Amino acid sequence: MIILAIETSCDETSIAVLQAEKDGGFSILSNIVSSQVAIHAPYGGVVPMLAKREHQRNLLPVLKQALEESRLLKVQSSNFKVKNGKAKFKILEELLNREETLFKKLTPFLKKYEKPDIDLIAVTNGPGLEPALWVGVNFAKALALSWDLPVMPINHVEAHITANWLEPIGANSKSPARGEARQKRQITKPKQIEFPILSLIVSGGHTQLVLMRDFGQYKILGETRDDAAGEAFDKLAKMLNLGYPGGPIVAKLAQSIDVRHQQIKFPRPMLNSKDYDFSFSGLKTAALYFIKTLSPAQLKKLTPAICAEFQQAAIDVLVSKTIRAAKEYNAKTVLLSGGVASNDLLRKTLSLATEHLSLNFSVPPKNFCTDNAAMIALTTYLKTQNLKPKTYNWQKIQVNANSRIS
């Protein structure tokens, strides 16, 4: 079985191809990620309608590259004719009537290339930015119609968690080099992870603590009441004029500072609350008030220290609540995932805290923490292995911008 996965929930256009192997292993034949960071950077955050426009532009080139790298792109023979071609074209036109740019490029593509050797299409249908999600979902439907394939909708947060079944830290984490796929396939087996699992998901849109007693079973124990962790990093970077996305820039500036030896102190919101919820807006406001007291020269000098204290405050709360929940629910394993999981200090702090309690700990390789379609493909693969889902009828698939895992 070969799965083609599409991810457009935020500002990355990504398509991956996963091949299931006979012995329960799989190989990722390609995982192409086209980032829109440069487009959104001047606004200090993702602009939904710009994201939609960029996905419309990027999806086809990304698909072509993903198929090429997977060696699945073949030019059509000259006497080729589509069965029910006219009727299909009409439905395709209706399907993509909001994605005009995409429609114009897709029809010549479909005429030029053969149906690739794919069995199932997977697509993120939520949560995320609604206009961005629809482009991916409509594109998946258009391909399904053209190639007579089923489509499976996938939850983005579930996929972030599932990225943990990919490969351990330090193991070979790169998708195969160009042309290497399908010849020298890197076959891996899904990682063995012991349940119950306590999973911390920290991204630009989500901060959740989730209990998993088995694969595919989720209980949300707590979540952010306002800003997501990544959003808080992005807002701090905006206040400091550092650029977008803020997380990696803040983390880099913080590297040179030892927070124990400096005066700036920010609050740790909800650190001692009895529940497992989070709040990052108070931390952001504390930083803002402090910044306002500084002259431009002081601000320049103190920016790395502000970043370091902010990062430490966020990590203190995230790690403390995760560990408390892991203890209360007798978790055997703690998983970390989402874009903020690429933060080195968070990875290290949570790893040490779990080691101290003799808990297993897993975090995906960094390139599988931020948005990518390989995690969508892997989720689909594991669902078809473990949960035997029915073949999905693409006509019924809807976008749910606020969908929750359950």
Q: How far is the CB of 156 from Zn ion (least distance, A)?
A: 6
Q: Which is nearer to ligand KG4, 30 or 372 (CB)?
A: 372
- CB under 6 A: which stretch of 70-78, 95-103, 210-218, 338-346 binds ligand KG4? 338-346
Q: Is 167 in the site for Zn ion (CB under 5 A)?
A: no
Binders of ligand KG4 among residues 162 to 221 (CB under 6 A) are 203-205
Please pick, from the candidates 153, 190, 248, 269, the single residue that binds ligand KG4 as defined by CB under 6 A. Answer: 248
Interface residue with ligand KG4, options 339, 364, 368, 384 (CB under 6 A): 339
Q: Map residues 178-217 to x or -, x wherever contact with Zn ion holds by CB under 5 A.
A: -------------------------x--------------
Write down the residue that tokens 């911390």 correspond to.
Answer: 200
Three-state SS sequence of the chain: CEEEEEECCCCEEEEEEEEECCCCCEEEEEEEEEECHHHHHHHCCCCHHHHHHHHHHHHHHHHHHHHHHCCCCCECCCCCCCCCHHHHHHHHHHHCCCCHHHHHHHHHHHHHECCCCCCEEEEEEECCCHHHHHHHHHHHHHHHHHHCCCEEEEEHHHHHHHHHHCCCCCCCCCCCCCCCCCCCCCCECCCCCCCCEEEEEECCCCEEEEEECCCCCCEEEEEECCCCHHHHHHHHHHHCCCCCCHHHHHHHHHCCCCHHHCCCCCCCCCCCCCCCCECCHHHHHHHHHHHHCCCHHHHHHHHHHHHHHHHHHHHHHHHHHHHHHHHHCCCCEEEEECHHHHCHHHHHHHHHHHHHCCCEEECCCHHHCCCCCHHHHHHHHHHHHHCCCCCCCHHHCCCCCCCCCC
Which residues sit opposite 122 in a β-bridge? 5, 152
Member of 302, 338, 380, 383 binding ligand KG4 (CB under 6 A): 338
Contact stretch for ligand KG4 (CB under 6 A) within 105-113, 240-248, 284-292, 398-406: 240-248
Find the shortest distance in angstroms from Cβ 245 to ligand KG4.
4
Give the phi and the psi of residue 379 in degrees, each rounded to 5. -60, -45
d(CA 211, CA 334): 10
Q: How many angstroms separate the most distant Cα atoms in the chain? A: 75
* Pattern 355-394, ligand KG4, x by CB under 6 A: ---------------xx-----------------------
Instruction: State the nearest-atom distance from the C-beta of 8 to ligand KG4, in Å.
Output: 11
Please select the residue that binds ligand KG4; options are 116, 126, 176, 230, rule is CB under 6 A: 230
Residue 116: contacted member of Zn ion, ligand KG4, none (CB under 5 to 8 Å, by partner type): none
Q: Which of 55, 237, 371, 381 binds Zn ion (CB under 5 A)?
A: 371
Q: Residue 176's binding partner, choosing from ligand KG4, Zn ion, none, with beta-carbon cut-off 5 to 8 A by kind?
A: none
Q: Which amino acid is at 15?
A: I
Nearest CA among 145, 121, 177 for reference residue 1:
121
- The interface partner of residue 248, options being Zn ion, ligand KG4, none and the CB cut-off 5 to 8 Å by kind, is ligand KG4
**Is the peptide bond between 196 and the residue preceding it cis, with omega within 30 degrees of 0?**
yes
Q: Which is nearer to ligand KG4, 36 or 370 (CB)?
A: 370
Closest approach of Cβ 372 to ligand KG4, in Å? 8
Candidates 139, 165, 218, 233; binder of ligand KG4 (CB under 6 A) is 233
Size of the site for ligand KG4 (CB under 6 A): 20
CB atoms within 10 A of CB 105: 16
Contacts of 293 (CB under 8 A, 6+ apart): none
Stretch that binds ligand KG4, among 35-43, 103-111, 177-185, 334-342 (CB under 6 A): 334-342
Toward ligand KG4, which CB reaches closer, 44 or 116? Answer: 44
Q: Which two tokens stand for residue 78?
A: 């000259």
Stretch that binds Zn ion, among 145-153, 218-226, 356-364, 369-377 (CB under 5 A): 369-377
Residue 190 contacts which entry, ligand KG4, Zn ion, none (Cβ below 5-8 A, type-dependent): none
Q: Which does 233 bind (CB under 5 to 8 A by kind): Zn ion, ligand KG4, none?
A: ligand KG4
* Look-up of token digits 């069995």: 119
Point out which residues bind ligand KG4 (CB under 6 A): 10, 203-205, 230-231, 233-234, 245-248, 251, 338-340, 342-343, 370-371
Contacts to Zn ion by CB under 5 A: 203, 371
